[in-house]
Amino acid sequence: MTFETFYQEMQEKLKNVVPEPEIFIKAEIAWEINKLKIEKNAVILGHNYMEAALFHSIPDHVGDSLGLSRIAAETDKDIIVFCGVRFMAETAKILNPKKTVLLPAKKAGCSLAESITAQDVRDLRERFPGVPVVTYVNTYADVKAESDICCTSANAKAVVESLNTDTVIFLPDEYLAGNVAKETGKHIIFPTRTKRANDSLLDVQLIGWHGRCEVHEQFTVKDIEDIRAQYPDVAILAHPECSPEVVAASDFASSTTAMIRYVEESNAPQYLLLTECAMGDNIAAANPDKNMLGLCRVRCPHMNEITLEDTLDSLQNMRYVIEIPEDIRIRAERAVQRMIEIG
Ligand code: 13P
Ligand code: SF4
């Protein structure tokens, strides 16, 4: 393919979501990245929250946390460039340790991953001995290493149900835990950071933590009521990191890839996504016939750190390399692998 054809394809796809002068600049950078990717035998994975020009130009695979983990585990390329946030790149390294995993930004954190430490998990285990620990993949490797099994938004219910226990510790997303509790019929408590005299498991089935996604916690039931007043037939899709009240008032809730599939396979007059802004643009670019309400106001600052410029720099200068101490990696791998086996 020539650069002209590549640029025209990007233009065609992005014309309604990216300003025209920007498309040319981004196409030039993406073209360089794609050449370098082949030279260096690299694969680029792009999370569904990447900005539209990046999402539609350089990834070999796009998807949600679960889908990209699976691909990372199976790739035979020498280098995995993860266009997503740090915990995702770490998961790739956990599953495929012989590969060089690059994250194109130094930090690219996540408010959920920052909300809990490995010591917090050890303390909870001591307070609730014998209770299995499920951690959301939006955590760092040392926290995963303290867990029995991981989950993503795509499989949280199945993972909790697979344990066949009355009580589960579910960390660290308070809202995802609330949504899973509703789906599984389990009820949830949030222990304080210190042990209390009346800690008891008698009526406790899902023990949560006070982590929240700084993006999804911003959506309210009032937002939904206002939109429905204006667009009575709108289909509203929420990510399960939104509060249980917001999820209950929406028409559908699941992982980012399941939300995309829902839009592609249904026929509502308009769609509103209660999730990271970029995803609406990505769907609009790929499905020009769908009416995506562009009322989104929340961009994840961590996902936003990943740019085309930084991805080029990442491949040119081999940075930032993800390293995980082997003892932590092996224990974290057990928890992630156990999740992948469930599906
Ligand atoms: P998914 O696993 O649904 O892609 O979500 C990841 C995430 O960070 C949502 O905020
Ligand atoms: Fe973390 Fe929320 Fe950003 Fe997802 S959207 S990476 S959960 S801060």
**Domain edges within the chain:** 3-109+303-317, 113-212+325-342, 216-293
The number of the ligand 1 atom at minimal distance from the alpha carbon of 259 is 3
292 alpha carbon – ligand 2 mean position (Å): 21
Q: What distance in Å separates the CA atoms of residue 136 and residue 160, rounded to the nearest whole number? A: 11
173 alpha carbon – ligand 1 mean position (Å): 12
* Residue among 246, 257, 301, 251 nearest 277 (CA): 301
Q: What distance in Å separates the CA atoms of residue 82 and residue 68, rounded to the nearest whole number? A: 9
Nearest CA to ligand 2 atom 7: 213
Q: Peptide bond preceding 172: is omega within 30 degrees of 0, i.e. cis?
A: yes
Q: What is the DSSP string of 195-223?
A: --TT---TT-SEE---B--TTGGG--HHH
Q: How many CB atoms lie within 10 A of CB 232?
A: 9
Q: How many CB atoms lie within 10 A of CB 126?
A: 9
155 alpha carbon – ligand 1 mean position (Å): 12
Q: Ligand 2 within 6 A of 47 CB?
A: no
Per the DSSP assignment, residues forming a β-bridge with 47 are: 63
pLDDT at position 5, please?
97
Residue 57 is classified by DSSP as T
The answer to whether 308 touches 57, Cβ cutoff 8 Å, is yes
The alpha-helical segments, DSSP class H, found in 101-237 are: 111-114, 118-127, 141-145, 156-162, 174-184, 221-230
113-212+325-342 against 216-293: fold identical:
yes
Give pLDDT tens digits along the chain (343 positions).
999 999 999 999 999 999 999 999 999 999 999 999 999 999 999 999 999 999 999 999 999 998 999 999 999 999 999 999 999 999 999 999 999 999 999 999 999 999 999 999 999 999 999 999 999 999 999 999 999 999 999 999 999 999 988 889 999 999 999 999 999 988 777 776 555 555 555 456 888 999 999 999 999 999 999 999 999 999 999 999 999 999 999 999 999 999 999 999 999 999 999 999 999 999 999 999 999 997 777 899 999 999 999 999 999 999 999 999 999 999 999 999 999 998 6
- CATH code for the part of the protein at 216-293: 3.40.50.10800
Q: Ligand 2 within 6 A of 213 CB?
A: yes
Mutation choice for ligand 1 from 175, 256, 257, CB with most ligand atoms inside 8 A: 256
- CATH code for the part of the protein at 113-212+325-342: 3.40.50.10800
pTM value > 0.85 = yes
Q: Ligand 2 within 6 A of 64 CB?
A: no
pLDDT at position 202, please?
46
Q: Ligand 1 within 6 A of 155 CB?
A: no
In CATH terms, the fold of domain 3-109+303-317 is Rossmann fold (3.40.50)
